[in-house]
């Protein structure tokens, strides 16, 4: 397709991979957020909001310079100050920064936080993959205990299920701590060095720079090598083995089905021990790029199960990050575990539960018809009376004809109309009409709230 020429006279459009949210879609996001926040609150999580812009070094040292998220996808910002800034590609590093900066180490531990907001990654847009997207996340900070891993997974599956997603697959793995992971990394490097002739260009670099990322590679050329690669679970030390065993025991106890996926390492460098993804088995997996130049080698793209078949779209991903605090410059380690749900994927799916409407959205009981300027002038005071009485209404600000407004109310199946004309303004009354049986009554404005509240 020929490229569209930019014209100075054209109104600029939303940029690629970003979009406006309006109408029903906006309410769906809001409804999801209310439900997710409610569930998290019942489990003891408290809200946090962090800035969309942070210092770039938070992400380079936290997520890792050689990860795709930082190396290829981060939006860096030119600003007037000297600090290098970036739009947040994810929340975890920022939430941990906030925990340290706000002295949350002195709170009773663990600190359990939830958040909701926009993230930015310069990826190749496709179904379920945007450059501006929304995450709802949970972080449990200040404990190594396996119950924290289990609670994060439990709350996530509950949120996804209550949002309409029933056909889920939990993929889980343990990548060990800094001691046993080093042994594993060494084995992986030795193995890949032996097979360096059969892997892609990027993997040749990964062997030197960031060997765990080898298991994220989506290039079909590397698949056979990846399949036969050593598996992290075989290298776990006793403490990590015990931790993983406990997490799985919690899941069994909670009757949450899981699949141990030995090639699941996740695309962020900060993970230790538990890593997991929750995949929708009914949502098709994203289109994979095979051309290395255009490749969107995304961290959350669905991993494969033991038979190495794509299983669907990742709705959520998370894991433990016990060394992230030191990586971003804190003197002490702060153990932590968390998850982020890809809200756009959840809400835009056909499985999304349409009943999740925000609390502010009420079915209108009344259609308010104002006829002429004097009526419009008085109408705002009457709307305020009805608002205080919690009577939801609709109105048509620009229409003046009674017939048009009555037929609008009928079309919208609103049970009552309130009619305010010049005569009613003088008499300080309104006409309340039952749209079902077409009966109507004149009501004094000061009696209106009580009258309407009693209407069925
Ligand atoms: P992540 O796997 O990069 O993890 O992202 C989590 C989820 O965000 C993904 O499973 C996916 O549903 C959604 N997501 C990611 N990229 C996009 C995109 N471009 N468009 C639409 N949705 C997307 C993290 O971000 C970690 N911070 C999660 C975490 C929290 N780990 C510990 N605590």
Neighbours of 109 (CB within 10 A): 14
What is the CA(196)–ligand 1 centre distance, in A? 30
Strands 393-395 and 366-370: parallel
Distance CA 338, CA 352 (A): 23
Helices (H), 259-392: 324-327, 343-347, 373-388
Atom of ligand 1 at shortest distance to CA of 90?
A: 25
Can the peptide bond before residue 413 be classed as cis, meaning omega within 30 degrees of 0? no
Phi, psi dihedrals of residue 306, rounded to the nearest 5°: -60, -30
What is the CA(36)–ligand 1 centre distance, in A? 16
Confidence of residue 300 (pLDDT cuts 50, 70, 90): very low
Average pLDDT over the chain, rounded to an integer: 91
Atom of ligand 1 at shortest distance to CA of 91?
A: 27
CA distances from 312 to 167, 170, 276, 287, 302 (A): 10, 11, 14, 11, 6
- Tokens 């990590």 label which residue? 240
Residue whose Cα lies nearest atom 22 of ligand 1: it is 342
More confident residue, 355 or 293: 355
Confidence of residue 401 (pLDDT cuts 50, 70, 90): confident
Distance CA 210, CA 147 (A): 30
Atom of ligand 1 at shortest distance to CA of 277?
A: 10
pLDDT at 204: 93
Ligand 1 neighbours (beta carbon < 6 A): 90-92, 121, 123, 128-130, 133, 135, 137, 139, 299-300, 314-319, 321, 338-340, 342, 344-345
Residues in Cβ contact with 133 at an 8 Å cutoff, skipping those fewer than 6 apart:
118, 119, 121, 342, 343, 344
Burial of 13 (0-12, 13-18, 19+ CB in 10 A): exposed
Contact, 322 vs 335, CB < 8 A? Answer: yes
Q: Coil, strand or helix: which one is 173? A: strand
Q: Coil, strand or helix: which one is 47? A: strand
Instruction: State yes or no: pLDDT of 293 exceeds 60.
Output: no
Report the alpha-carbon angle 75-104-64, nearest 5.
30
Give the mean pLDDT of 382-409: 92
What is the CA(367)–ligand 1 centre distance, in A? 43
Tell me, what DSSP letter sits at residue 199?
S
Contact, 148 vs 110, CB < 8 A? Answer: yes
What is the CA(300)–ligand 1 centre distance, in A? 6
Contact, 379 vs 395, CB < 8 A? Answer: yes
pLDDT at 7: 64
Distance CA 295, CA 370 (A): 58
Q: Coil, strand or helix: which one is 347? A: helix
Residue whose Cα lies nearest atom 20 of ligand 1: it is 129
Neighbours of 380 (CB within 10 A): 9
Contact, 137 vs 321, CB < 8 A? Answer: no
pLDDT tens track for 48-99: 999 999 999 999 999 998 888 999 999 999 888 878 999 999 999 999 999 9
Beta bridge partners of 400: none
Atom of ligand 1 at shortest distance to CA of 130?
A: 20
Instruction: State yes or no: pLDDT of 111 exceeds 90.
Output: yes
The best mutation among 90, 112, 139, 276 to test binding of ligand 1, ranked by most ligand atoms within 8 Å of the C-beta, falls on 90
Domains and CATH numbers, the chain: 23-348 (3.30.930.10), 366-454 (3.40.50.800)
pLDDT at 106: 97
Contact, 48 vs 54, CB < 8 A? Answer: no
The best mutation among 280, 342, 343, 346 to test binding of ligand 1, ranked by most ligand atoms within 8 Å of the C-beta, falls on 342
Closest among 56, 61, 63 to 213, alpha carbons compared: 63
Helices (H), 102-220: 146-162, 178-194, 201-209
Closest among 99, 126, 131 to 115, alpha carbons compared: 99
pLDDT tens track for 121-157: 999 999 899 999 999 999 999 999 999 999 999 999 9
- pTM of the shown model: 0.90
Contact, 328 vs 93, CB < 8 A? Answer: yes
């Amino acid at each position: 397709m020929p490229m569209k020429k930019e014209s100075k006279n054209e109104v600029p459009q939303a940029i690629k991979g970003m979009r406006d949210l309006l109408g029903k879609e906006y309410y769906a996001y809001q409804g999801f957020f209310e439900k997710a926040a409610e569930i998290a609150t019942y489990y003891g999580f408290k809200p946090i909001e962090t800035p969309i812009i942070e210092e770039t070094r938070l992400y380079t040292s936290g997520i890792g310079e050689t990860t795709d998220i930082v190396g290829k996808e981060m939006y860096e910002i030119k600003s007037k100050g000297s600090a290098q800034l970036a739009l947040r590609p994810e929340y975890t590093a920022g939430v941990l920064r906030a925990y340290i900066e706000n002295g949350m180490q002195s709170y009773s531990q663990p600190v359990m936080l939830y958040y909701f907001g926009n993230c930015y990654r310069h990826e190749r847009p496709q179904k379920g993959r945007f450059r501006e997207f929304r995450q709802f996340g949970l972080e449990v900070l200040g404990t190594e205990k396996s119950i924290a891993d289990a609670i994060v997974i439990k709350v996530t599956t509950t949120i996804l299920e209550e949002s309409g997603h029933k056909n889920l697959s939990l993929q889980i793995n343990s990548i060990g701590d800094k001691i046993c992971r080093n042994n594993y990394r060494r084995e992986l490097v030795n193995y890949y060095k032996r097979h360096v002739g059969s892997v892609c260009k990027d993997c040749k670099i990964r062997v030197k720079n960031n060997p765990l990322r080898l298991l994220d590679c989506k290039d079909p050329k590397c698949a056979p090598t990846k399949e036969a690669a050593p598996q992290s679970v075989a290298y776990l030390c006793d403490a990590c083995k015990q931790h993983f065993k406990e997490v799985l025991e919690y899941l069994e106890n909670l009757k949450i089905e899981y699949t141990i996926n030995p090639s699941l390492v996740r695309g962020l460098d900060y993970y230790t021990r538990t890593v997991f993804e929750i995949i929708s088995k009914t949502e098709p997996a994203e289109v994979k790029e095979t051309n290395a130049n255009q490749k969107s080698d995304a961290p959350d793209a669905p991993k494969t199960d033991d038979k190495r078949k794509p299983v669907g779209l990742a709705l959520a991903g998370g894991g433990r990050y016990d060394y992230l605090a030191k990586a971003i410059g804190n003197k002490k380690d702060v153990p932590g575990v968390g998850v982020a749900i890809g809200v756009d994927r959840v809400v835009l799916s056909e499985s999304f539960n349409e009943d999740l409407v925000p609390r502010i959205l009420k079915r209108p009981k009344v259609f308010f018809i104002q006829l002429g300027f004097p009526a419009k002038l008085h109408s705002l005071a009457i709307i305020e009376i009805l608002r205080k009485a919690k009577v939801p209404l609709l109105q048509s600000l620009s229409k003046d004809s009674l017939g048009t407004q009555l037929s609008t109310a009928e079309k919208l199946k609103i049970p009552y109309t309130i009619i305010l004309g010049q005569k009613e303004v003088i008499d300080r009354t309104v006409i309340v009409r039952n749209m079902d049986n077409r009966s109507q009554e004149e009501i004094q404005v000061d009696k209106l709230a009580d009258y309407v509240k009693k209407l069925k």
